[in-house]
Amino acid sequence: LMVTVVTHFNHACEITDAAEQACRALRQGGFVLLNQSVLLKGVNDTVEVLEELCRELMYRLGVKPYYLHHGDLARGMAHRRTTIAEGQALASALRARLSGICNPVYVLDLPDGGGKVPLGASYVEAQDGATWQIRGQDGELRAYTEIVGDL
């Protein structure tokens, strides 16, 4: 049986020695640790702040950055909500700076029970038959032709 604990750190300044000790104890107890953060304007809405958070989570606490939530439509929180486009740009910038294991999935928890859906930018730009136009990490568009069967 695998038991997972999901933590909630939004900024690296929340990662204290006490948090480190608690996470270590949980890991030693066999728990899998994941983190979910909320993207908050003025708190963690720069790539530098999110990168530091993700690195501290993974390499200091041993906690996998799992979800980066787009802010809910909660009353009184409009001043902390980014746009989806801003969040997508941050998620793309993080992908270019961090290894895959350090990258959280940018998600929106849809109202009325719609569930969490990923909001990451699509790298696929177009398709013409077996040839796809795909944007690389460097932003350049490249053709990729699918070949069915042996080369």
User: What is the pLDDT tens value at each position of the chain, 151 positions in all?
Assistant: 899 999 999 999 999 999 999 999 999 999 999 999 999 999 999 999 999 999 999 999 999 999 999 999 889 999 999 999 999 999 999 999 999 999 999 999 988 888 899 997 777 777 888 888 888 877 788 888 887 777 6
To the nearest 10 degrees (0 to 180), the angle between helices 47-55 and 84-97 is 50
Same domain for 113 and 132, yes or no, is: no
Same domain for 93 and 150, yes or no, is: no
Same domain for 90 and 146, yes or no, is: no
Same domain for 11 and 60, yes or no, is: yes
Residue 10 CA to residue 32 CA, distance in Å, equals 19
Same domain for 112 and 66, yes or no, is: yes
Q: Print the domain residue range for 150.
A: 122-151
**Which residues face 145 on adjacent strands?**
131
State how many domains the chain has.
2
- Which token pair is 50? 């999110």
Same domain for 28 and 84, yes or no, is: yes
Same domain for 16 and 64, yes or no, is: yes
